[in-house]
Amino acid sequence: MRDTSGTKTSNKRAASRFSRLSVLIAVSASALLALVGPTHAAPAKDPLPADIPDYQAALNAVKSADVRNAVCRFLRTPVPTGDSGKPVQTIPEIAEPCQGLPVFTIKDPVARNEITPGFVAGTAKPLPAEAIKLTQLVSSLSTTVNGRNATVMLAPNQGGGWHLAAVRDGDSDAAYASKATVGTLVFTEPQIRGWYQLKLLTVEPLNDQAREGLGGRASVSLGDYQKLVKARYADKLPGSEYDATGYSSGYSLQRAKDDASSSALLLASGSGTALVLVGGAAVLYRRRRANTR
């Protein structure tokens, strides 16, 4: 008989080495997955500066009957012409405001980000988390209704959640805000209605106002963009002389410019409010019931 003890020992050693190698491969793979995440993981909706807080509450708001009825009342009211001589146009109180209107849905809300006061003042570093902040959520309609679209604007509640802040004619805000992709951030410079996309630390314009805001350049660094907005607005922030004299409501590089989509705005609140449209802008009047006792 042949002595097979050496072969058995060799086989055991090979099996041991294979076992250790298998464990090493498994541990390495686990570490790699821990770093990059599973391949099927869904990307973040809005990776910069942070995910939308209380997003389920925002979804619940845009799907609610109250918000839908507010949109229907808005769509039933003709767009104001801007003629200040015309009387105030009150949105009628209708028991079933959506009755007779074409069927539509309100899309899931997306982030409406703006530049921060600290970034404008130059006190914040030119970093995405310090330059940009989430101010509102915006949703557009799934289809036009009688030739019109609308944007639903949500504002955050104190302590969490979201509420209806406004309904605006047109869908430009939601259209631009929806251009954000994984690794990019879309934000607005509201003073000139400019919309930009931030890729890492590079700012690119998305509309004509933004291109004008960058002086016609195709892109600038976030640091150079900060220099531009600081020169435009640093002396016009709240508390400045510009603000004290009542001019803080707007700014234009040449003259006042507004998209056609912003020609009408409906401000909404809770019960006890009257919704009116005046000369292309919305005004919110709160009913004050006199105490008759």
CA-derived radius of gyration, the chain: 28
CA pair distance 251, 219, nearest whole angstrom? 22
CA pair distance 143, 140, nearest whole angstrom? 9
Phi, psi of 291, deg, nearest 5: -80, 110
CA pair distance 153, 61, nearest whole angstrom? 10
Residues 171-186 have pLDDT tens digits of 999 999 999 988 899 9
Burial class for 120, CB neighbours closer than 10 Å (0-12, 13-18, 19+): buried
Residues constituting the chain: 293
Q: Which residues contact 129 (CB under 8 A, 6 or more apart)?
A: 48, 49, 50
pLDDT of residue 91: 62
pLDDT of residue 49: 36
Give the 3-state secondary structure of residue 46: coil
CA pair distance 129, 50, nearest whole angstrom? 8
Contact 229, 48 (CB under 8 A): no
Residues 71-86 have pLDDT tens digits of 999 998 877 665 555 5
Residue in 150, 94, 155 with CA at minimum distance from that of residue 262 = 150
Give the 3-state secondary structure of residue 200: coil
Q: Which residues contact 22 (CB under 8 A, 6 or more apart)?
A: none
pLDDT of residue 242: 47
Question: pLDDT under 50 in the chain at which residues?
Answer: 8-10, 12-50, 241-244, 247-252, 254-264, 268-293
- pTM, two decimal places: 0.68
